[in-house]
Structures are given as C-alpha cells and as structure tokens.
Amino acid sequence: DVKVTQSSRYLVKRTGEKVFLECVQDMDHENMFWYRQDPGLGLRLIYFSYDVKMKEKGDIPEGYSVSREKKERFSLILESASTNQTSMYLCASSSPSGNNEQFFGPGTRLTVL
Amino acid sequence: LAKTTQPISMDSYEGQEVNITCSHNNIATNDYITWYQQFPSQGPRFIIQGYKTKVTNEVASLFIPADRKSSTLSLPRVSLSDTAVYYCLVGDSAAGNKLTFGGGTRVLVKP
C-alpha cells in the first residue's frame, strides 16, 4: 500500500515564524502536491511538483514556497507565518501512469497565533 | 479544468442507497470523472473513476450519461461508517494530474 506521511499531525506556531511542513511518500511517485483545507472551501491546491527540483504554482501559492530535493520528499515552507495561514494542510502523491489516483497523507493542522 | 457543482449536504439512513449527482457542463473530451471520499481528520481517498456509461467497484457505482455533463455516484446500502464528504472532480489525467476539489457533498448516515 502507498504510504504518505506528514511530519506532524498538529503544529502551533507564532506569527512571523518560519514553518516547515514535511511530506514523505514511499511509492516512488513522480507527482507530489500540497493542499490546504478550510471549512466551506474544500481543498485548495498550493503547489505541486512533477519531478525532483521542479515545482508549479497551484491556485493559492501566495505566502508559501516548496522544496523538492529528493523524489520521496516534498516540503512546504511558510517563510513568515500569518494567522490567515491557520489551516489543515494535506500532502498527496501520485504516479502519472494509470488513473493518476492521488494518495493523501493524514494532514497537519497548523495553528498560527 | 471543468468546474463541478454538487449538493452541499445529504442525509440518509442505514441500509438505503445514496445517490449524489455532480454537474460538469464544461467537461472536455479528454476529461475523466473521479470521486474521492474524506472522513473527518483524514485525507481524501479515491473511490471510483469513469469516462462514460457505468463503472462499478466494490465500494460504489458511477453513472455517466451520454452527454457526460453530469455524473451520479451511487453508494448501495450505506452504513454509519459511510458518513463522509464526497468530492466530484473532473480533469484530464494526462495533463499532469492537477485536480480541483470543490466543496464536496457532506453525507450524513443516520441509524
């Protein structure tokens, strides 16, 4: 089974802090994604990556950056956390072959005070 | 990417069949229709995908009419554990697999 893990289930940070959210997948997937989920807004795509060192902006990239130095790891970075970045963050991975099913991690609930 | 519209919520009872219809009027020729399920405090998980007519697996059935402008996810004989949010997505799986999730349909199964 595909396993996508995220570094923390819950995280509390202060405004202005630099925040790293880590995601690791163990199925050698080329594609990786970061979403945020807020009540009433569904999942919104922040950034995605098709390959190592490659990244593409999603629908809401402002205030975020990403890093993909290794195929299995995709990091989301909040350079200076703000209260409006309090949210549930979900990482996913997929292979471009087959039906492109995305496999999601358990999520990280980030609270910025 | 084609926009989808689905009901915000639905209530049902154990043992009933639940049908969720999704509208996607601007679906493109290469687009597939995919449904995900999300339980509270978990990430979404893939349920079913189809292109046309009917697809069935061990979890659900997906009905797609000839014009493909809508689709219906059918959950047979639901149980309390089927209470979840269900997302309908439309996209071209060959276009880099960028998915757009809408608000989903919150299904509540009552005893």
Is pLDDT larger for residue A18 or for residue B100?
A18
Instruction: Give the B window 27-66 contacts with A, CB below 8 Å.
Output: 32, 34, 36, 41-46, 49
Task: With a cut of 80, say whether residue B33 has pLDDT above it.
Answer: yes
Most confident of A100-104, B46-50, B95-99: B46-50
Whole-angstrom distance, CA of residue A15 vs CA of residue A17: 6
Whole-angstrom distance, CA of residue A43 vs CA of residue A96: 21
Q: What angle do CA B48, B62, A91 make, to 5 degrees?
A: 25
Q: pLDDT tens digit string along B15-31?
A: 999 999 999 998 888 88
Residues of chain B in contact with residue A31, where contact means CB-CB under 8 angstroms, are 96-97
| Cα within 13 Å of Cα(B88), Cβ side | 27
Q: Name the closest residue on chain B to residue A102, using Cα atoms.
A: B46
Task: Please name the member of B49, B96, B101 whose beta carbon is closest to the beta carbon of A50.
Answer: B96
Structure tokens at A13: 């940070």
The predicted pLDDT at position B90 comes to: 87
The predicted pLDDT at position B96 comes to: 54
Q: pLDDT tens digit string along A71-96?
A: 999 999 999 999 999 999 999 998 87
Q: Name the closest residue on chain B to residue A57, using Cα atoms.
A: B98
- Which letter, b or e, does each residue of B50-69 get, where b requires 16 or more Cβ atoms within 10 Å of its Cβ? beeeebeeeebbbbbeeebe
Task: With a cut of 60, say whether residue B1 has pLDDT above it.
Answer: no
Is pLDDT larger for residue A59 or for residue B96?
A59
Task: With a cut of 70, say whether residue A2 has pLDDT above it.
Answer: no
Q: Do residue A41 and residue B97 have CB atoms under 8 angstroms apart? A: no
Residues of chain A in contact with residue B97, where contact means CB-CB under 8 angstroms, are 31, 94, 96, 100, 102
What residues form DSSP beta bridges with A52?
none
pLDDT confidence bin for B102, thresholds 50/70/90: confident
Q: pLDDT tens digit string along B58-100?
A: 999 999 999 999 999 999 999 999 999 999 988 876 555 567 7
Closest chain A C-alpha to B60 CA, distance in angstroms: 16
Residues of chain B in contact with residue A108, where contact means CB-CB under 8 angstroms, are none
Task: Please name the member of A48, A99, A106 whose beta carbon is closest to the beta carbon of B98.
Answer: A48
